[in-house]
Structure 1
Amino acid sequence: MKISYCWLYAINRYGYPPTIDNAIKALEEMHDMGFKYVEVEGVGNENMREVYENRRLIKEKCDELGLKIINFCPILPDIASMNKELRERAFEAYELGVETAKYFQAETVQTDSFTPPLKFKGDIPYKEAINYGKVFNVEIDPAYDWEEHWGIIVESYRKCSDIAEKNGMKFCLEPRVGELISNTDAFLRLYDHVGSKNFGMVLDTGHQHAQKEILPLSVEKAGKKIFYVHVSDNDGRINEHLALGEGTIDWEGVFTALKKHDFNGYVAIDIGGVKDLRESYISSKNYLVNLFKKLNIEYDV
């Protein structure tokens, strides 16, 4: 397994999304903390284009620092929109995202499933980068048709997977609290409908533990469909993204299950909303190293 870091670090340090200059700073800081494997995001159509236009600058900085971009995330909520025109524009940006990922020589392209098109009274999920412990009140729109939307979701993520595959990369989706695809079983249903072996799951321990999933069972259910792992800790009540060891996640159980299924991909530290961000990333990296030694798991960092 290879230890990497998530773009949530850059977001927490420099805003959502960070400017290109600040993205470069985040990469430099990751290098200084001893990371070699990194991910980068393009958030929304405008920022996605900005990252695309600066892809050479970002790649050259990574090459200079000895960093390898292993995952690129085009975060484009309208990919799952019921509005055809918005979806088409989002897919234009997604094509740029895949081209950017290919330029970076990334192994995976990742996105989310995004907030459902419901009428929220008050807070909206993921209006900011991530929400911890929010309470949402929803007014059901009589015009909303889940079955119609499900067909669009299936078609959209099948298309995402096909585009990534044509460019030599795997495509993965991250189930998150409050989104259209929020847990392991929802992902598995989508996987069956998409019907592509190039389509996989991001196992996010913070989000799934907060939804009371038994994480080793989640690994058993998804098995080799897990393409990528995000690690953060919490107490199982709120989807906080704390340093490893500061919550109640059964890390030995999670990684014993991953080892059983021969997972040898990237384990990305995904911490945010903490006081000492730098120290949390370093301590979590060390936590993983010690755990992998204990479980006799080969690793690289």
Structure 2
Amino acid sequence: MRSTGVGSLPGEDFAEATRIVLGELTDLPHLPELPARGAIANMTGRALAMIEGLDADLQPAGWRLTGTSGSPGVDHRRARSLLAQDLDTVEELAQDSALTSGGGAVKIQVAGPWTLAATVERPRGDKLLADHGARRDLAQALAEGVGAHIRDVRRRLPGIETLVVQVDEPALSAVLAAQVPTASGFGKHRSIDLPEASQALEWVLGAIAGEGAVPWVHSCAPGTPLGLLRKAGAKGLSVDLSQLSAADHDDLATALEAGDTVALGVLPALAPEGAEPTDKTVTETVERWLDMLGLDTAYDIVLTPACGLAGADWRWARTALRILTESARHLA
């Protein structure tokens, strides 16, 4: 039993966030994401920073592809530079740890092809989701960019034994249910067929596995098709326990019995208004869930917050990570 974070954390001090992650999440630290630093550091900006061959710029409505390779906007260049600087910081702070000396594990995150297609605009306006060719090009470019990113992380942290790459797809259920608004706001984009949805994920997850990393998919949105994610190549499913349906529980039990990982979101992303959970209550929650499934703690379960902690304050973020680590030790 291990613990990790979903990805995002509060504040703008990347070095301090990295120190906290390395100190609290000793089994599976993750590369922090700090969206408070602006659009160049949020989920979309981070993913675009990894992609080569597609350039973008930042518009008032958000990120938009420029349509020509070799002419990234200033914000796209800043996003790429910031990612490189953050990796420099991780490389420096991880010295003398298992991440450089051998035997360690680490998790990195990237926005998935469908969440990007639902948030990034094409050059002539509206989301990439509206254009079949653009959707395909984006997914393939993302697969190539993630592969290069994995190689860069391994070069900087040569002691990594296990590298997990979490593909964030919070918009996938909305894409499949035709719930993504068009640019005008008066309509919705058409739903994507399941074979196309699966193929784009297969390209990205396959590129991750091809680099020797472990592909996970995370979504804290209800209605995410967990079975589709596994068929597309996900070896880990990261979910919010409070949002699961009966079918989801069955899919997770099947994944565990097949030897895959389930990252179980068991703590709220924001500090609760009433009594805060403790390591004891979290441990009991996981035990009850396993008992409901007829399973035990021998399976590969990772405890996480329900979603990213970007909206929390640092007191709750630290508390949450500490509770998760202590609960994982109890269950182990």
Question: Could you say whether these structures have the same fold, taking a TM-score greater than 0.5 normalized by the shorter chain as the test?
Answer: yes
Aligned with residue 78 of structure 1, among 101, 116, 121: 116
Q: Is the 8 A contact 1:4 1:267 kept in 2?
A: yes
Structure 1 residue 24 corresponds to structure 2 residue 27: no
1:200 alignment partner in structure 2: 235
Tell me by how many angstroms 1:259 deviates: 5.6
Structure 1 residue 253 corresponds to structure 2 residue 284: no
Where does structure 1 lack aligned partners over 5 or more consecutive residues? Answer: 15-21, 123-136
1:210 alignment partner in structure 2: 243
Deviation digits for residues 67-117 of structure 1 (CA, Å, limit 9, x no counterpart): 645211122533685423433443343233332444443432110224227
Equivalent-residue separation in structure 1 for 2:237 and 2:252 (angstroms): 11
Across the aligned residues of Structure 1 and Structure 2, the Cα RMSD in angstroms comes to 3.9
Equivalent-residue separation in structure 2 for 1:252 and 1:261 (angstroms): 8
TM-score of the aligned structures, taking structure 1 as reference length? 0.64
2:228 alignment partner in structure 1: 189
2:90 alignment partner in structure 1: 58
Change (3 A) 1:265 1:259: same
Structure 1 residue 140 corresponds to structure 2 residue 140: no
Equivalent-residue separation in structure 2 for 1:55 and 1:112 (angstroms): 19
Change (3 A) 1:225 1:114: farther
Tell me by how many angstroms 1:25 deviates: 1.4
Change (3 A) 1:69 1:75: farther
Equivalent-residue separation in structure 1 for 2:170 and 2:80 (angstroms): 16
Where does structure 2 lack aligned partners over 5 or more consecutive residues? Answer: 34-42, 50-78, 119-128
1:13 alignment partner in structure 2: 11
Structure number, greater radius of gyration: 2
2:149 alignment partner in structure 1: 97
Change (3 A) 1:69 1:100: farther
Q: Size of the alignment, in residue pairs?
A: 250
158-167 vs 52-61, greater mean Cα deviation = 52-61
TM-score of the aligned structures, taking structure 2 as reference length? 0.59
Q: Which amino acid aligns with 2:255?
A: A
